[in-house]
Amino acid sequence: MSTVNTMRVITQNALGGPEVLEVAEVERPAPRANEILIRVHAAGLNPTDWKHRATGGFLGEPPFTLGWDVSGVVEAVGVGVARLAPGDEVFGMLSYPWGHGSHAEYVAAPARAFVHKPAGIDHVQAGALPLVSLTAWQALVENAQVQPGQRVLIHAAAGGVGHVAVQIAKARGAYVIGTASAAKHDFLRELGVDEAIDYRETDFSEAVKDVDVVLDMLGGETALKSLRVLRPGGIVVSIVPMGKPDFYEEAERLGVRAVRMLVDADRADMESIAELVEAGKLRATIAATFPLADAAEAHALGATGRTAGKLVLTVD
Ligand SMILES: NC(=O)c1ccc[n+]([C@@H]2O[C@H](COP(=O)([O-])OP(=O)(O)OC[C@H]3O[C@@H](n4cnc5c(N)ncnc54)[C@H](OP(=O)(O)O)[C@@H]3O)[C@@H](O)[C@H]2O)c1
């Protein structure tokens, strides 16, 4: 149990499998200028958590505490923070990648990136949404500027990013095609997908054409094939490393656009996401919740790559 000056965090002292994760008690941070200290109630998990746990990724060598999603209550504010106050319920994403550390009882975060949690959703919902919704919003709205009636292909549409991307694309009035294994097609239809493709049985590049926008989270061959289903001027937004430099050359040759992006913490985008939630147009499907101390179990499940929707850590 943490004391008034300490907090429990999930930490790791070595890179490796879920077993390297451990609970530690550390000093509770004080919010610096323009920061808020958040008492974390729920924090989503994302593939970037297990990738960083195993490889160090952007963060290099441990020790470090992972986690970028946050929903919680403002405990204290740093100098200069006027928009938020202690007691406010907030949700948002820590700066990606350097601001990590939400898999903890408390986290200090840039006030600028956080918005009020919509009253109609609980902390588990709000903790599940930020990273995946910001990713989908920045891919579909900022980069691709999806328009009503456009044909949007979303790969891995049942996953964390995919299932919110479907809802955002539908909210923009798009015709949405999603890929998933057959067992997840009912889920895709509930989300609003107009056409579901079983990627295990059907080569999507032979089944769809004249697509305006593809959201790619698989990279490699899937990214290259995605370029070929676009109409002239269409765009593939990929959110995974390409590994294939010919992605951009192939795009140029075909007269289409290819973009690769990293999610970025942004308050204006969080406001747009909160508006969609308030309008009842965006909800996370919660695959499972785990108490903070069971983070290793959550990592192991997430790393299977088969979950539908989101995994979330809860903090009492
Ligand atoms: N660049 C960025 O800023 C950024 C941001 C967020 C995420 N990402 C990356 O995007 C990827 C997806 O993230 P996520 O949170 O959506 O992951 P996730 O929730 O773990 O995705 C799981 C889903 O992927 C589906 N899937 C796996 N292989 C597939 C395939 N070949 N075709 C279609 N669906 C497939 C699975 O469905 P089935 O069981 O039916 O196969 C499952 O529902 C990760 O690599 C993540 O690191 C990048």
Q: List pLDDT tens digits, range 167-219.
A: 999 999 999 999 999 999 999 999 999 999 999 999 999 999 999 999 999 99
- Ligand 1 atom closest to 179 (CA): 33
> Does 300 lie in the same domain as 233?
no
Please tell me whether residues 37 and 93 are part of one structural domain: yes
Regarding the beta carbon of 162 and ligand 1, being less than 6 Å apart is answered yes
- 164 plus 254 within the same structural domain: yes
What is the CATH number for 181? 3.40.50.720
Would you say residue 297 lies in a domain?
yes
- Specify the ligand 1 atom closest to the Cα of 158: 43
- Give the three-class secondary structure for 216: strand
**pLDDT tens figures, 89-124:** 999 999 999 999 999 999 999 999 999 999 999 999
Q: 51: domain range?
A: 6-129+284-314
Whole-number Å distance, alpha carbon 161 to ligand 1 midpoint, is 7
In a domain, 139, yes or no: yes
Same domain flag for 233 and 302: no
Whether the predicted pLDDT of 3 surpasses 70? no
Element (H, E) at 35: strand 35-45
Residue 274 placed within a domain: no
Mean pLDDT for the chain overall: 97
Instruction: Indicate if ligand 1 lies below 6 Å from the C-beta of 84.
Output: no
- Among 217, 264, 266, 312, which is best to mutate for testing ligand 1, by the most ligand atoms less than 8 A from CB? 217
Measured CA to CA, the distance from residue 165 to residue 106 in angstroms comes to 29
Q: Average pLDDT for residues 155-176, to the nearest whole number? A: 98
> Does residue 146 share a domain with residue 186?
yes
pLDDT at 257 over 80: yes
Q: In whole angstroms, what is the distance from residue 289 CA to residue 42 CA?
A: 9
pTM: 0.98
